[in-house]
Structure 1
Amino acid sequence: MYKDDTILVVGQAKPSKEDAIYSLHGEFYVSFVVERATGKILDLECNTILSVTRNFVVSMLLGKSLKTDLDEMQQSIRERYFALTQKPLIACLKDAHNRYMMVTGQK
């Protein structure tokens, strides 16, 4: 399904105890399929409760780069995503960025 030049990078964070994700999963996860060289996000999935939330996150991040677009993605989340998981989503993004940079030898 995915080409050989792609990698899977997962970011995780702890949601607030008030969020249903905490009750169901305990952690908030976002899995990214990215091009190894560019960090371009080709696919992603997160463990949100509602599909509309997942679809909205996908629409904000798909096509961006974990390598170069971290600030832009964080700003988009702050300006457009108003849920209890706003901070955990940003934390997941930063975690995934750091993992990407480590596994590609860029950090």
Structure 2
Amino acid sequence: MFPDHTVYIIGDSKTASNNPITQKFNTFFIGLVIDRNSHEILEAECSSTIALTSKFVRSIFTGKSMNEPEAIIEGIEKRYFGSSQKAIIVAFKNAHIKYNQIMNN
């Protein structure tokens, strides 16, 4: 389904103890499929309790470049107003660090 020049990266973070995601998964995860050649995010999914949340998060990330993390974070801040906003940002930053480590090897 995904070409050989793609990588799959998971970013994770904590959510508030009263967040349903924490009660279901204990942590927040975001999975990203990234094209190593163009640095484009081809697919994204997150741990969520509502399917619409995962679809909306996908729309924030898909088509964006891992080389422009500030723009992605800005998009989260401007568009996502669920209780997991900070968790999404932290999980993305975690995934971005992992992606840079992969690309620098």
Q: Which residue of 2 aligns with 1:30?
A: 30
Deviations 1:41-77 (Å, cap 9, x if unpaired)? 01111111111111111111101012x1210111111
Q: 1:84 maps to which residue?
A: 83
Separation in 1 of the partners of 2:17 and 2:75? 24
Name stretches of at least 5 consecutive residues in structure 1 with no aligned partner: none
Please report the RMSD computed on the Cα atoms of aligned residues, expressed in angstroms.
1.1
Q: What amino acid sits opposite 2:10 in the alignment?
A: V
> How far did residue 37 of structure 1 move?
2.7
1:1-107 map, 5 Å: 1-66=1-66, 68-105=67-104
Q: Distance in 2 between matches of 1:35 and 1:61?
A: 13
SS at match of 2:90: helix
Give yes or no for contact 2:6–2:33 (8 Å, CA) kept in 1.
yes
For residue 8 of structure 1, give the secondary structure of its aligned residue in structure 2.
strand
Give the distance between the partners of 1:69 and 1:59, measured in 2 at CA. 16
Instruction: Report how many residues are paired.
Output: 105
Q: What amino acid does structure 2 have at the position aligned with 1:18?
A: N
SS in 2 for 1:92: helix
Normalised to the residue count of structure 1, the TM-score between the two structures is 0.93
The answer to whether the 8 Å contact 1:20/1:49 transfers is: yes
Runs of 4+ in 1 over 3 A off after TM superposition: none
One-letter code aligned to 2:39? G
Moved more, 18-27 or 35-44: 35-44
- Say whether the 8 Å CA contact 1:41–1:65 is kept in structure 2: yes
What's the CA shift string for 1:8-52, capped at 9, x where partnerless? 011000011111000010110001010113321011111111111
The percent of aligned pairs where both chains have the same amino acid is 30
